[in-house]
Structure formats: structure tokens, C-alpha cells
Amino acid sequence: MKYNRTGGSMEISLTSQYFRIKDSGVGIAQKELATIQERFKRANSIEGGFGIGLDIVHQVVKSYGFEITIDSKTDQGTEVSVTWQK
């Protein structure tokens, strides 16, 4: 919600195989996606923060043996998926 646009949309999906969140926010540049899950990494400075949110999510997902994928396009939004069954 922090990086979504005012009046933007957010979709949340939960199935027996995955949890997915998609927004219509500012997005993350392609060059930042490879490292966005690193601790203290921030893709932009639009909002305050320390760059630890996605690192915490990544560590929890990894500890349970799940997979996380992040797809994003600048100025179009971001989709984060956590998959636990294939």
C-alpha cells in the first residue's frame, strides 16, 4: 500500500498453491528487481523506510521452503507472488 498510487488498485489472491498481491503503484525498475530483496535495499526514495520489508518477507518465505517472485514495471505496478506448491 505504501508505494501504490492515491486512488490506485490492489488485488489480493489466495489459493491452495499461492498468495499474490498486485498493485497499480509506482513499480520497480527492471535493473532493481535482481537485488530488491536484499536488506537495506530501496528502489526509490518516494516514501520513507529502511529497505528491510522485502528482506524480511524473503527470509520467511525461504525458511518455509516457498518461492517468491516479484514482477514489476515502472509506473505500472508490482506483483509479488509466494508459491508453496507446484
User: DSSP characters for 44-76?
Assistant: --SS---S-HHHHHHHHHHHTT-EEEEEEETTT
pTM of the predicted model as reported, rounded to 2 decimal places = 0.75
What is the residue type of 51? G
Give pLDDT tens digits for 42-77.
Answer: 656 566 566 677 888 889 999 999 999 999 998 899
Say yes or no to pLDDT of 31 above 90. no
Name which residue leads in pLDDT, 71 or 39: 71
Strand order in the sheet with 10-14: 10-14, 18-23, 77-83, 67-73
